[in-house]
Structure 1
């Protein structure tokens, strides 16, 4: 039975093992998928041990996506642009292939919930690996503008320069945010520790949309805060999680599972 894992810190909240187990049942794939907590100083060592034990591939979540990219000796175009990876494949010849499936997962979930990005003003909060993986597909959806905001503005500026040829994009520090946006996406990990990013509440237009890439068994603090500030719809990252997982599953197994059935099952169990 082929072995797959997801690595992160924290990791106990991860639904990836359940999702991939459901995908395997749907598609008659003989796999086992588990989760593993990696300490901040052992991630690369953990991956090496898994490869040595015969692992076929893994997903990578916060905060290891940029380090996963650096482990690979073959990368997809979208991972190269993002300089981050959430999907690694371990080939028999020793090659480690890296890809990022977060962007399609996010955009498809937004569209599935009736959020058309064309012509929108979008604020992307955070400039880490989670942010870099979604910028290209967001810009390809033709928003009016995309602003990347980060506590350290230099990281946001670097991303704005890297992706500038895909659309209208600019960088701001958190303390420079003085406008309101149609869609605010939180790509930081603050919700995992029940905190909010250090951004002002005026970022939300009335009847705007909000999206938190983190999810949990109840609405995240960011989702609650967005509703308190007048948004029309605030979503957590569960749909994105299932979408990016399906892309990873396809990379590994060359078969596409049914997303909707798994999203509904997870919602029922949270």
Structure 2
């Protein structure tokens, strides 16, 4: 980077990449973390279509980018763009956090740790031995599945409209007998689940999966990895179907951001105040906390 470029970017640059991405709360979250810890940074949202992601990431690095977050639909596409991968990203086959190391990107995935921390520490849920239904097999599902297994859930059923993607995720997780890929249309035949997680982005359109009430066990927890209006449809269904607890993805968003911030800056910020402020402005649909 030339001296002129360095003068143009006096604070280290960070960004979230996605499509769409203008709605993202990540810039506000990381700005709050930086203020709390007196760490200067510049964090922006960069819209990137899948076909343009590699070029957008290269331009960001050339302009002084030191770290990034990756959201839908780019998490799996980020994997081959990384020179190295952490264990979480390698197991997931998806990247949500980028760290600049030398001339290349190191990829991590903090989604799963963020989700587990939100559900256990903030919502006070015991995940152990919960029979779990994971809806979707894309980048979001890949990010959380390994951490859920590590947290001690029981059998994990992955349902997806495209059976091949569910099979591929199950194969990547490598726990036959505990992980079961199925077609989405078969969800109603699989019995009751203690934990039902929507890892699709269907709430953004009209394609939200319709599940029978029978998938929810007594005192079941329903989780949508989305937050805000995108989570309304699924969690409204879960409430009407009798879920004991419903949780949106806002807490997970904050916790995974804190994990990424620690990778960039060597210190993990406290999340409670940032979560409280965001929750006061996004106060829908959470009853587990």
TM-score using structure 2 length? 0.89
Matched, 1:127 2:163: no
CA contact (8 A) 1:194 1:220 kept: no
**How much is the aligned-residue C-alpha RMSD, in angstroms?**
1.6
Partner Cα distance (2:229, 2:182) in 1? 32
Q: For residues 75-121 of structure 1, what are the alpha-carbon distances to aligned partners after superposition, in whole Å with 9 as ceiling and x for unaligned?
A: 10111111110011123x31210000000001111112122111111
Partner Cα distance (2:85, 2:108) in 1? 6
Show structure 2 runs of 5+ residues with no match: 1-10, 283-289
CA contact (8 A) 2:203 2:231 kept: no
Which of the numbers 197, 201, 217 marks the counterpart of 2:209? Answer: 197
Counting only pairs closer than 5 Å after superposition, residues 70-219 of structure 1 correspond to structure 2 as: 70-91=80-101, 93-111=102-120, 112-165=122-175, 168-177=178-187, 178=189, 179-193=191-205, 195-216=207-228
Matched, 1:65 2:72: no
TM-aligned CA deviation for residue 37 of structure 1: 1.3
Partner Cα distance (1:66, 1:198) in 2? 26
Q: For residues 1-25 of structure 1, what are the alpha-carbon distances to aligned partners after superposition, in whole Å with 9 as ceiling and x for unaligned?
A: 0110001111122100000000001
CA contact (8 A) 1:194 1:221 kept: no
TM-aligned CA deviation for residue 41 of structure 1: 1.9
SS in structure 2 of the partner of residue 227 of structure 1:
helix
Q: Rg larger in 1 or in 2?
A: 2
TM-score using structure 1 length? 0.95
Partner Cα distance (2:116, 2:142) in 1? 14
TM-aligned CA deviation for residue 184 of structure 1: 0.4
CA distance change for structure 1 residues 187 and 223 in 2, over 3 Å: closer, same or farther?
same
CA contact (8 A) 1:61 1:86 kept: yes
CA contact (8 A) 2:204 2:230 kept: no
SS in structure 1 of the partner of residue 175 of structure 2:
helix
Q: For structure 1, which segment, 33-42 or 49-58, has the greater mean C-alpha deviation from structure 2 after superposition?
A: 33-42
SS in structure 1 of the partner of residue 129 of structure 2:
coil
CA contact (8 A) 2:113 2:256 kept: yes
> What residue number does 2:279 align with?
267
CA distance change for structure 1 residues 25 and 167 in 2, over 3 Å: closer, same or farther?
farther
CA distance change for structure 1 residues 153 and 198 in 2, over 3 Å: closer, same or farther?
farther
> What residue number does 2:23 align with?
13
Show structure 1 runs of 5+ residues with no match: none
TM-aligned CA deviation for residue 186 of structure 1: 0.5
Partner Cα distance (1:157, 1:198) in 2? 21
CA contact (8 A) 2:82 2:104 kept: yes
> What residue number does 2:241 align with?
229
